[in-house]
Amino acid sequence: MIKLDSERREYEMLVIGEEAHVAYNRVGLTDFFETRKIEDLYLNPAEWYESQKPTLNTVINTKVVEILPETKQVRTASGELVGYDILVLATGSDAVIPASVPGHDATGVFVYRNIDDLEKLIRYSSVMKGSTAAVVGGGLLGLEAAKALMDLKEYGAVKLIDRNRYVLARQLDSDAGMLVMEKIRDLGLEVLTEKRVKEINKDEKNQCTAVTFEDGERMECSTLCYAIGIKPRDELAEKAGIITSKRTGGYTIDESLQTNIEGIYAVGECASWEDQTFGLIAPGVEMADVLSYNLTLLPGQERRKFRRPDLSTKLKLLGVDVASFGDFFADRDGPRELPSTFEAPVRGVRSKEKRTDLVKAISFRDPFAAVYKKYLFTMDGKYLLGGMMIGDTRDYIKLVQTVKLKKPLEVPPSQFILGAKKEGEEDNTDDLDDDTQVCACHNVTKGDIAKAVKDGTCKTISEVKTCTKAGTGCAGCMPLITSIFNGEMKKLGQEVSNHLCQHFPYTRVDLYNIIAVKKLRTFPEVMAAAGNNKTSLGCEVCQPTVASIFASLYNEHVMDEKLHSLQETNDKFLANIQRNQTFSVVPRVAGGEITPDKLIAIGEVAKKFNLYCKITGGQRIDLFGARKQDLVEIWTMLVDAGMESGHAYAKSLRTVKSCVGSTWCRFGLHDSVGMAIRLEERYKSVRAPHKFKSGVSGCVRECAEAQSKDFGLIATEKGFNIFVGGNGGSKPRHAELLVKDCPPDSVVPVLDRFLMLYIRTADKLQRTARWIENLPGGIQYLREVILEDKLGICAELEQQMANLVGSFFCEWTEVVRDPVKRKMFQQFVNTEETVDSVEMVTERDQQRPAFWPKEPARVDFKGHKWSSLTWQPLVKADHFRDANSAAVKRGDTQLAIFKVRDKFYATQQMCPHKRAFVLSDGMIGEDASAEKKRLWVSCPYHKRNFTLGDSECGVPAKGDAGTCTNDEELSIATFEAREEHGWVKVRLPPVEELDKLLGTKRWMVGREETEKEGVFEVVERKYGKGMRGRKVEIGIKGQAPPNSTRAVTVGGGSGGLDW
């Protein structure tokens, strides 16, 4: 309904459920015994229901006790009246316990129907260890219940009791049923056939002790689970005047699913169609599809009718593959229906006679492989009617489709069995029609799956399951789904692995979905759930990617203990690291609008800390050169002045640039500044796979350059044109028109959908431009998804964005108020001293760092031989309660100390690539292989990875410690480290010797070394400095006025300067 009604949104839906859980997969009940987590069975995660409000509201733990058709209301058990326009009854069914059997109410007697039944069974089994449990009923549900009791591993024996000669009598003939029974006996399940329970024996505590059969035999058991059938829950019918089936029970419905009362419908097991009820999931889904379609019918569309459902079944029961399809008892009961083109021989027969003579069977049995097949054909061999399969069910989908098409066969009947695919051959799905039903549980066709892959909606199997619901029922169709998916991907030429890194066999999109569905919140949880090595630390690629996903889903503070070590240095210190190990400070200036007081506050900060000031292309002020240890004081001043973080350091919204629009400009059509501020205030802090920028122009003159932004708006007479997918950078791209003349109040929903879809489906570090280019169909596909709601997810995207922006907080405001986080900004943890590592140069009345050296420090730091080494206490061990690394100073040398899995490692602080003293801020990585235990630290600047040592032995001075794994010319010095008496001690050489090799003064970058003569000095010497302003008569600033008169060329009658 939600999907079909997504455009017109005519309906608001309320679901009232008696159980304590939202909808879950009852076909997978047995899986509950493995995980004991009901959430794993949910058809949609719990948060999905929140995201569907107000279109869909769900109330659980609430029982409806009466229907009042006259007033169109239902009454709940609490007495509350709830009104309706249309009422759909999906009350399901109850498991049957024969009340006529004495002792049926004894303790230890259960049914197998819902989660509550299972939880009771689990609790009871734990106190009945070693006793015997029995299941009554040899049908599909009975075998599932028997498997569940065996999986509990609490009982000494599990037995199955059935009144028939063989199991699965409603799906299989005697040969097939006997084979299944033989297989499940081999698995340890004792099967008692042709037995009926006469009495359940119990003791004085009313506890089940045994059962007595009708033949007088008695069997000891402590637990008895009935799975002998269902009874439709139609108890609401009588008072309401709804007709029910006298033969089967259930609300009587017509072909439109409506009861005898207009506006009241019934679907699923509670509905009786032509005096039949259906206890399988597929007919219930078909009923829901028909009803939803008819309720959302567009003008001119023809109403659908519910017809005889396909009762084909394919399951794995107790490890045995079992399937029946089509009219599988046509040889016993006569065909229910014959193809219209089949010419039956005429003979004098009564109208109700079973025409078994019209059916012929071919059967095959392999006792060695435990395979049995029986296919039923019309007597002329031209049409397949149905059949059953045990052991080998790989042709199931193709055979079901052949039956449905009712087309004459192109091959002899024998070829259906003798021509079966051999073991190990890959399924060829090309010969399946697009309308072939692949997933019977959710009525998903091959065409549905292929389309989802072709149009780029689904790039993984997990996305196929999420998008189409295929494979989320009994899961028996998963092999074919996988084959279809692989086949379509091959056609698209997309066989290249897009795994995130060596640690995860998934793409960023896969990982996003895994984290979202499983609600994972820490990196170890993600690694355990999806990593190649469940205990690995990850690396500099996956750690920030996972951190970004966490931020997009939960928006917790990136400096929280569980997240801090995952961040890139920029996010780690909430500022962009610059060339001289200082940071930039960028307050939020939404839409480029700023008050004089805030300008003054920025100026006061810049003067106090001697910061370089620059107006950015995004219409805000960037302050460069802030030392890490000064960041907290700087931001305290800014926060006190009413400013907040501009998130220039994050993969998030940077700015929404604007012209002045109709506020001041005579050409402006709309208030572009107001719109820009509203958009920037909405999306500030939202983290995405990469940074994104925006612009709002007040007219077609495009002063805000909106068409070069990730999303941009240009005002029109009727609203705004919305453009998406533009960017500058190394590969510029002009944005494309997404929506024309969008009303101002519709801009936010469109952008919410666009950004949320980007966050969900983009690859790691992929800008919106490249993302749209990689979408099959590009901008047209994007329009279909977020404007036409092709996937039925627009409301979900809007709600997810609303939740995300609703959780906003200023990260720097939180830091300045948190004593623990404030301590993270020290330069050294063992001294208050501060050290500069790059010389500052005065240029244009401001200071900047000297340029980087062109060559790295090519010194064999790793292989250096020290005269002697002694253990030196450098930092208190309790520092590492809140951190996993530290920078320390000894003499003139800066060192980095790391703690990994309770082991300590120490290295020089300087990365030799650019002589930057930053390694303590680097990310720790580890090989994905379980055999290798190599650790490395990744330099924050250019990701040079230096080996720390073996994470298992914890002795960094041995092996390849200190080598650079991605630049063989570089190395670093490493030192042994350990904790002793509350201190972290490092085994170091004498101070003088250490400083001689690693001292800051030796390696500090200076202007004389790197800037003997700058580019502009050459230009100025040749051409002179540029003139400032137009007052040419005063000469050039910094030089004396010229002695000679300068000629001024004039043109035009006015004598003005000819520029």
pLDDT exceeds 80 at position 269: yes
**Closest by CA position to 536, among listed 905, 253, 930, 159:** 930
More confident residue, 310 or 864: 864
CATH number of 569-645+812-824: 3.90.480.10
Structural tokens at position 733: 């791209």
- Which stretches does DSSP call E strand in 796-902? 840-843, 846-849, 870-876, 885-890, 893-900
The partner residues of 848 in beta bridges, in order of sequence, read 841
Question: CB-based contacts of 388: which residues, under 8 Å, 6+ apart?
Answer: 171, 172, 173, 176, 323, 324, 325, 328, 372, 373, 374
pLDDT for the residue numbered 963: 92
Mean pLDDT of the chain: 87
Structural tokens at position 176: 């097939």
Pick the CATH number of 826-1028 from 1.20.140.10, 1.10.600.10, 3.20.20.70, 2.102.10.10: 2.102.10.10
Distances (CA, A) of 551 to 36, 571, 582, 813, 883: 29, 11, 25, 17, 20
Q: How many CA atoms lie within 13 A of 109 on its CB side?
A: 25
pLDDT per residue as tens digits for the range 622-634: 999 999 999 999 9
pLDDT for the residue numbered 931: 64
Task: Decide if domain 13-18+62-94+232-295 falls under CATH 3.30.300.90.
Answer: no
Pick the CATH number of 650-809 from 3.40.50.10470, 3.30.413.10, 3.40.640.10, 3.30.70.20: 3.30.413.10
pLDDT for the residue numbered 419: 52
- Which stretches does DSSP call E strand in 459-598? 576-577, 583-585
Highest mean pLDDT among 143-157, 188-202, 489-503: 188-202
pLDDT per residue as tens digits for the range 49-90: 888 888 999 999 999 999 999 999 999 999 999 999 999 999
pLDDT exceeds 80 at position 604: yes
pLDDT for the residue numbered 313: 84
pLDDT per residue as tens digits for the range 853-895: 888 898 999 999 999 999 999 999 999 887 889 999 999 999 9
Q: For the ranges 126-130, 302-306, 1007-1011, which has the lowest average pLDDT?
A: 1007-1011
pLDDT exceeds 50 at position 1039: no
pLDDT per residue as tens digits for the range 741-774: 999 999 999 999 999 999 999 988 889 998 998 8
Decide if 149 contacts 225 (C-beta within 8 A). Answer: yes
Q: Per-residue pLDDT averaged across 559-571, rounded? A: 90
Q: How far apart are CA 236 and CA 246, in angstroms?
A: 15
pLDDT per residue as tens digits for the range 659-679: 999 999 999 999 999 999 999
Task: Decide if domain 97-228 falls under CATH 3.10.129.10.
Answer: no
Highest mean pLDDT among 21-25, 65-69, 294-298, 411-415: 65-69
Q: How many CA atoms lie within 13 A of 811 on its CB side?
A: 28
Q: How confident is the model at residue 34 (pLDDT cuts 50, 70, 90)?
A: confident
Q: How far apart are CA 975 and CA 449, in angstroms?
A: 56
**Closest by CA position to 808, among listed 682, 648, 676, 620:** 682
pLDDT for the residue numbered 136: 96
Structural tokens at position 254: 């017509």
Q: How far apart are CA 992 and CA 974, in angstroms?
A: 17
pLDDT for the residue numbered 309: 87
Distances (CA, A) of 449 to 191, 435, 779: 40, 10, 22
pLDDT per residue as tens digits for the range 467-482: 787 876 666 677 678 7
Decide if 76 contacts 63 (C-beta within 8 A). Answer: yes
Grouping H, G, I as helix, E, B as strand and the rest as coil, residue 849 is strand
CA 11 from chain centre, in angstroms, equals 28
pLDDT exceeds 70 at position 210: yes
**Closest by CA position to 484, among listed 559, 558, 431, 537:** 431
Q: How big is the chain, counted in residues?
A: 1059
pLDDT for the residue numbered 4: 85
For 269-312, where are the alpha helices, taking DSSP H only? 281-295
Q: For the ranges 83-97, 154-168, 337-351, which has the lowest average pLDDT?
A: 337-351
Sketch the domain layout of the chain as residue ranges: 13-18+62-94+232-295, 97-228, 310-340+355-417, 430-487, 508-554, 569-645+812-824, 650-809, 826-1028
Q: What is the pTM of this model?
A: 0.53
Decide if 722 contacts 738 (C-beta within 8 A). Answer: yes
- At which residue do the structure tokens 């009935």 appear? 226
pLDDT exceeds 70 at position 112: yes
Q: Are strands 264-266 and 87-89 parallel, antiparallel or unpaired?
A: parallel
Structural tokens at position 215: 């033949």
Class level of CATH domain 430-487: mainly alpha
Decide if 1017 contacts 841 (C-beta within 8 A). Answer: no
Q: How far apart are CA 659 and CA 705, in angstroms?
A: 9
Q: How far apart are CA 950 and CA 930, in angstroms?
A: 12
Q: Are strands 157-161 and 132-136 parallel, antiparallel or unpaired?
A: parallel
Q: For the ranges 558-572, 867-881, 905-919, 929-943, which has the lowest average pLDDT?
A: 929-943
pLDDT for the residue numbered 1047: 41
Q: Per-residue pLDDT averaged across 1026-1031, rounded? A: 46
**Closest by CA position to 24, among listed 39, 37, 34:** 39
pLDDT for the residue numbered 932: 64
Q: How confident is the model at residue 1042 (pLDDT cuts 50, 70, 90)?
A: very low
pLDDT per residue as tens digits for the range 775-793: 888 999 999 999 999 889 9
Write phi, then psi, for 511 (nearest 5 degrees).
Answer: -65, -40
Q: Are strands 190-192 and 157-161 parallel, antiparallel or unpaired?
A: parallel
Note if the bond before 54 is cis, omega within 30 degrees.
Answer: yes
**Closest by CA position to 137, among listed 80, 200, 95:** 95
Question: What is the Cα gyration radius of the chain?
Answer: 37
13-18+62-94+232-295 and 97-228 in the same fold: yes
pLDDT exceeds 60 at position 957: no
Residue type, 84: Y
User: C-alpha angle 749/755/761, rounded to 5°?
Assistant: 130
Q: How confident is the model at residue 934 (pLDDT cuts 50, 70, 90)?
A: confident
pLDDT for the residue numbered 943: 85
Highest mean pLDDT among 296-310, 598-612, 718-732, 815-829: 598-612
pLDDT exceeds 60 at position 293: yes
Q: For the ranges 306-320, 502-516, 769-783, 1020-1034, which has the lowest average pLDDT?
A: 1020-1034
Listed as own residue / partner, the contacts of 337-346 with beta carbons closer than 8 Å and 24 or more positions apart are 337/308, 338/378, 338/383, 338/385, 339/378, 339/383, 339/406, 340/406, 341/406, 341/408, 342/378, 342/380, 342/382, 342/383, 345/379
Question: CB-based contacts of 797: which residues, under 8 Å, 6+ apart?
Answer: 752, 753, 756, 757, 760, 786
- At which residue do the structure tokens 């977020």 appear? 786
Structural tokens at position 158: 């599990």
pLDDT for the residue numbered 731: 66
Q: How far apart are CA 167 and CA 169, in angstroms?
A: 5
Q: What is the dihedral of CA 452, 772, 52, 91, to 10 degrees?
A: 0
Q: How confident is the model at residue 1040 (pLDDT cuts 50, 70, 90)?
A: very low
- The one-character DSSP state at 175 is H
CATH superfamily to which 310-340+355-417 belongs? FAD/NAD-linked reductase, C-terminal dimerisation domain (3.30.390.30)
| % of the chain at pLDDT higher than 70 | 90
Q: Per-residue pLDDT averaged across 231-249, rounded? A: 94
